[in-house]
Amino acid sequence: AQSVTQLGSHVSVSEGALVLLRCNYSSSVPPYLFWYVQYPNQGLQLLLKYTSAATLVKGINGFEAEFKKSETSFHLTKPSAHMSDAAEYFCAVTLNTGGFKTIFGAGTRLFVKA
């Protein structure tokens, strides 16, 4: 069965510090992997996606993620946190099972301290 595990329900960093949000997945077939961001009282929006091209994927707002098959990981990073990065982040795996089915991790709330 496919699943997504996000390590840490809450992560707190100082402004300007490195952001690292962890995601591990399990999938019986090559997955499509995504990171979505949710700001308060809003829907989710795509941050970046991995679809079997380059293993290092760059997204919006300076975020990037690296797909590591041997570790079944897809961790999200940003070199320098900004106050506006405070939000809920979701890692997701999408499978095509006769229709796209996306399974989300439990989410990681990112806090950014001034």
Partner 1 sequence: DTAVSQTPKYLVTQMGNDKSIKCEQNLGHDTMYWYKQDSKKFLKIMFSYNNKELIINETVPNRFSPKSPDKAHLNLHINSLELGDSAVYFCASSQGSLTTGELFFGEGSRLTVL
Residues in contact with partner 1 by the rule CB under 8 A: 32, 34, 36, 38, 41-46, 49, 51, 88, 90, 94, 96, 98-104, 106-107, 109
Q: Could you tell me which of 38, 79, 82, 31 has the C-alpha nearest to residue 55?
A: 31
Instruction: List the structure tokens of 98.
Output: 């006769």
State how far the Cα of 94 lies from the Cα of 114, in Å rounded to an integer: 35
Kindly state the smallest distance separating residue 86's Cβ from partner 1, in Å.
14
CB of 80 to partner 1, least distance (A): 26
| Residue entry with tokens 């707002």 | 61
Closest to partner 1 by CB, 54 or 106: 106
Q: Which is nearer to partner 1, 17 or 103 (CB)?
A: 103
Q: What is the nearest approach in angstroms of partner 1 to the Cβ of residue 103?
A: 8
Residues 6 or more apart whose Cβ sits within 8 Å of residue 72: 24, 25, 26, 27
In the bound state with partner 1, the residue whose beta carbon lies nearer, of 17 and 49, is 49
